Amino acid sequence: MSPVFPMLTVLSMFYYMCLRRRARTATRGEMNSRRAIESNTRALPINVEIVQYAKEVLDFSSHYGSENSMSYTMWNLAGIPNVYPSSGDFTQTAVFRTYGTWWDRCPSARLPFKRTPPTFCSQDYVELAFEEPVYPTAVHILETYHPGAVVRILACSANPYSQNPPAEVRWEILWSEAPTKVNGPQARQFTPCIKQINFPTNLIRLEVNSSLLDYYTELDAVVLHGVKERPVLSLKTSMIDMNDIDEDEDEEKYGCGMDTLNKQFSIVTLREWPTNGYFDKLPYELIQLILSHLTVPDLCRLAQTCKLLYQHCCDPLQYIHLSLQPYWARINDTSLEYLQSRCTLIQWLNLSWTGNRGAISVSGFSRFLKVCGSELVRLELSCGHFLNETCLEVITEMCPHLQELNLSSCDKIPPQAFNHIAKVGSLKRLILYRTKVEQTALLSILNFCSELQHLSLGSCVMIEDYDLIASMMGAKCKKLRSLDLWRCKNITESGIAELASGCQLLEELDLGWCPTLQSSTGCFTNLARKLPNLQKLFLTANRSVCDTDIEELAANCTHLRQLDILGTRMVSPASLRKLLESCKDLSLLDVSFCSQIDNRVVLELNANFPNVFIKKSFTQ
């Protein structure tokens, strides 16, 4: 056969793909400008472009700041820039709670969920409302320190200022990329090429991944460019990249429409085959092992091929650990209903970020847990704003074996609702960061949950007396290994003494931004002597930390791996050298804004202790 025919076949296939791509693009009326498309385009009719800064910060997963001030909080993203184009560490910017991989190396680190799709790498998010709904043409993000954290930008069809909420809320990805390392901490305006969407929006969501950053990223403002009328593109010429086909399939696979995922869950019409090929020769367990590497949407697709694979893909053993967080925009009551029969043996469940804006109802969540909660050991519900007291009551009744509960940033749960958690005596990990838990409920939890090993109370502003809380921990929580008291406003040396005496297994303690602790009372010395197993100690922004405290840590806490003493004026280079010589495992030391530790000292310490990452922030 002549070699011309295979070549013609390849060219025909390529021509077909180009036509298919052109047809789909014209049908949607949108062009993904991030892709390699070279064309002469013009918008008809001509629209005046609207440029607007964020009017309001609606929601976010975490921030470095407190709930009662503006320093380092996400609320700084509203309005015009405060800092840009200056570079450096400024309190007027928005800063997330973590950076790098340091929090993944602590005793409190949690095991990751498997089956996370490779396209989902988001760790935090912030949602911004703008005055005017527009068809976006550009998004500018003003990053003022350690840029490069933003990995995804989304637009929402819901208008947060509308009196009539839509029947369905749609999220569309404007831009998405894997985390990349940016050289240098200097400020920049980040303007990724976004795709056009077929609805106007005034609600933009930024998702970030800070794992590659050397320090905290700082964002100053977000600018949305757009037009009021939907652009109609006329194409004169175009050249289409071969990667277009693959990227379009990725959008279908990981897009944000709820219908697609729910259809995959619900399809039950299967083809009849005389045999199942080589699968008939494989042991059931081996097929299960192979399928365990598939993501949830892939399992749903595979279930549509034949009865044998449907049986495997719907086997509850495939859903022992299930994370729905990557699909937060697509999960609703219908999704949970379809999953019920597959999740009867589920032990780990991640519903973080899901269910907001009415997607999951209290009744839908309750029905799911009543069927699937009996074997649950771990439940992640971070930023679940649909949760209320009824939900917590259902959790405590339907999940008798629960050991880990994450309610981080669930700030809509009323204070009295947390009393129900005290019924779960088997709890080993409880995360209440940025919740409205109040003192009476927390005392009850500590009294009845004596198995607690990891507890996060960071930014819990409703607690009136942290000394009383610390005293209860010392008396009841003898197995405590990690404790986060970030920005607790009133703990004193008395509470620290009770804590150190009663919780001597502590390996991780965060006392960052606790203004009522004073070194002169001996509280830090007492900590160092009573807690020899400490691996992580954050004393961030405590101006009173002094050489004596550092020398006590060097003498008693030789297993120390991470130490943050940002902001102290009382620590000298000599005491740091003693610490570095004694603590051979030390890998992170933050001396930002320590007035006695200048850049020359940092360079010298880096040269002598190359295995330690010494952080020294700056302000331009």
pLDDT of residue 47: 74
* pLDDT above 90: residue 12: no
Window from 45-59, 307-321, 366-380, 598-612 with minimum mean pLDDT:
45-59
- What are residue 317's DSSP bridge partners? none
Parallel/antiparallel/unpaired status of strands 378-380 and 348-350:
parallel
What is the DSSP track for 2-59?
Answer: -THHHHHHHHHHHHHHHHHHHHHHHHHT--BTTS-B---EEEES--PPEEEE--EEEE
Q: Does 46 score more than 90 pLDDT?
A: no
Q: What is the pLDDT of residue 618?
A: 83
Answer yes or no: are the C-beta atoms of 454 and 510 closer than 8 Å. Answer: no
Assess whether pLDDT exceeds 70 at residue 29.
no
Predicted confidence (pLDDT) per residue in 338-361, tens digit:
999 999 999 999 999 999 999 999
**pLDDT tens sequence across 284-337:** 999 999 999 999 999 999 998 888 999 999 999 999 999 999 999 999 999 999
- Strand-pairing partners, residue 206, are 126, 153
Entry pTM? 0.89
Q: What is the predicted pLDDT for the residue at 45? A: 52
| pLDDT value, residue 257 | 47
Lowest mean pLDDT across 155-169, 372-386, 388-402, 450-464 = 155-169
Closest CA to 42 of 197, 231, 241: 231
Instruction: Give me the pLDDT at residue 7, please.
Output: 42
Distance CA 106, CA 484 (A): 12
pLDDT tens track for 546-573: 999 999 999 999 999 999 999 999 999 9
pLDDT of res. 269: 58
Task: Please give the share of the chain, as a percent, with pLDDT higher than 70.
Answer: 86
The Cα 589–Cα 578 span in angstroms is: 13
| pLDDT for 166 | 83
Per residue in 197-211, pLDDT (tens digit) is 999 999 999 999 999
- Domain 499-619: which topology? 3.80.10
What are 210-233's pLDDT values in tens digits? 999 999 999 999 999 999 998 875
Average pLDDT on 521-531 reads 98
* Residue type for position 561: R
Residue 33 has pLDDT above 50, yes or no: no
Mean pLDDT of 148-176: 94
Higher pLDDT, 165 or 360: 360
Residue ranges of the domains in the chain? Answer: 49-227, 499-619
Q: Strand 562-564 and strand 588-590: pairing? A: parallel
For 162, half-sphere exposure in the C-beta direction (CA atoms, 13 angstrom radius) is 15
pLDDT band at 488 (very low <50, low <70, confident <90, very high): very high
pLDDT at 40 over 80: no
Query: How confident is the prediction for the chain on average, in pLDDT?
Result: 89
Is the pLDDT reported for residue 234 higher than 80? Answer: no
Indicate whether 236 pLDDT > 60.
no
7-16, 77-86, 277-286, 395-404: the lowest-pLDDT one: 7-16
Residue 34 has pLDDT above 60, yes or no: no
Rounded mean pLDDT, 263-292: 78
User: Which of 26-40, 336-350, 357-371, 570-584 bottoms out in mean pLDDT, i.e. has the lowest?
Assistant: 26-40
Q: What is the pLDDT of residue 264?
A: 64
- Contact in structure between 113 and 323 (CB atoms under 8 Å): yes
Closest CA to 206 of 391, 58, 377, 368: 58
Please tell me the predicted confidence (pLDDT) of residue 515.
95
Question: pLDDT at residue 238 above 80?
Answer: no
CATH code, 49-227? 2.60.120.260
